[in-house]
């Protein structure tokens, strides 16, 4: 797994034998090759599963994990141990990882049924974006413009100012098109 940094996954692979570890490696290769997931997503999936496997290895008291050890009861035990410390979004991602892993094993006929299927993800609260009001946006743009006009300013500041000005002018233009009866003020 050279695409992953030295990690909990590497530790698992180096210290644990058995069909479960081989299945995990096959799963990550499948995700990398056939699903073309990003390295960050692969690390997340690998870490979630490796943490469960290491917990299970310690709970069972042996250095071998086989697919038969990956039961719903063992998964629930791990979730009860680990998940209360995680944010709800991390819990949901981890549960999606377990379901996906077992779906992979089921398709490969390594297990019968998906022990993670009955696990429910927590409700993840959706946060609304925070936005600037008109005065704050104008203050931001005026400050950025002043920095861009400074003789010592790097070219990236002028670029950023130009991008923001263009976007703001485009949005205002779109809004004018949608509400022709409204008297719009002009910006310099």
Q: Is-contact 23 69, C-beta < 8 A?
A: no
- Give the percent of the chain with pLDDT over 90: 18
Neighbours of 56 (CB within 10 A): 20
Q: Is-contact 17 69, C-beta < 8 A?
A: no
Per-residue model confidence as pLDDT tens digits over 14-29: 888 999 999 999 999 9
Angle among Cα 112, 73, 47 to the nearest 5 degrees reads 85
User: Once rounded to an integer, what is the mean pLDDT over residues 9-17?
Assistant: 87
What pLDDT does 176 receive?
A: 63
Q: How far apart are CA 7 and CA 60, in angstroms?
A: 22
Domain ranges of the chain: 8-107, 134-178
What pLDDT does 57 receive?
A: 92
What pLDDT does 180 receive?
A: 59
* CA atoms within 13 Å, Cβ hemisphere of 49: 29
Query: What is 137-178 written as a DSSP string?
Result: HHHHHHHHHHHHHSTT--HHHHHHHHHHHHHHHHHHHHHHHH
Per-residue model confidence as pLDDT tens digits over 168-182: 788 776 666 665 555
Q: Under CATH, what is the fold of the domain 8-107?
A: DNA polymerase; domain 1 (1.10.150)
- DSSP code of residue 112: S
Q: What is the mean pLDDT of the chain?
A: 82
Query: Has residue 5 got a pLDDT over 50?
Result: no
Per-residue model confidence as pLDDT tens digits over 110-133: 878 777 677 776 676 777 888 888
- DSSP code of residue 111: S
The CA-based dihedral angle spanning residues 100, 18, 56, 111, taken in that order and rounded to the nearest 10 degrees: 40
Per-residue model confidence as pLDDT tens digits over 46-81: 999 999 999 999 999 999 989 898 888 888 888 888
Q: Which pTM was predicted?
A: 0.61
What pLDDT does 113 receive?
A: 77
Query: Has residue 10 got a pLDDT over 70?
Result: yes
Query: Has residue 153 got a pLDDT over 50?
Result: yes
């Amino acid at each position: 797994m050279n695409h992953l940094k030295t990690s909990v996954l590497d530790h698992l692979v180096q210290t644990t034998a058995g069909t479960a570890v081989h299945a995990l490696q096959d799963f990550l290769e499948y995700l990398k090759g056939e699903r073309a997931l990003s390295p960050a997503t692969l690390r997340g999936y690998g870490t979630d599963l490796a943490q469960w496997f290491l917990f299970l290895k310690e709970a069972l008291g042996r250095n071998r994990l086989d697919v038969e050890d990956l039961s719903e009861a063992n998964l629930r035990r791990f979730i009860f141990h680990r998940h209360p410390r995680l944010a709800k979004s991390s819990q949901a991602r981890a549960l999606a990882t377990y379901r996906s892993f077992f779906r992979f094993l089921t398709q490969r006929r390594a297990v019968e049924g998906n022990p993670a299927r009955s696990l429910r993800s927590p409700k993840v609260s959706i946060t609304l974006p925070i936005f600037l009001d008109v005065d704050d946006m104008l203050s931001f743009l005026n400050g950025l413009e002043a920095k861009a006009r400074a003789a010592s300013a790097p070219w990236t500041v002028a670029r950023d100012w130009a991008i923001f000005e263009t976007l703001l002018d485009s949005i205002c233009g779109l809004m004018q098109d949608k509400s022709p009866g409204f008297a719009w003020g002009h910006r310099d």
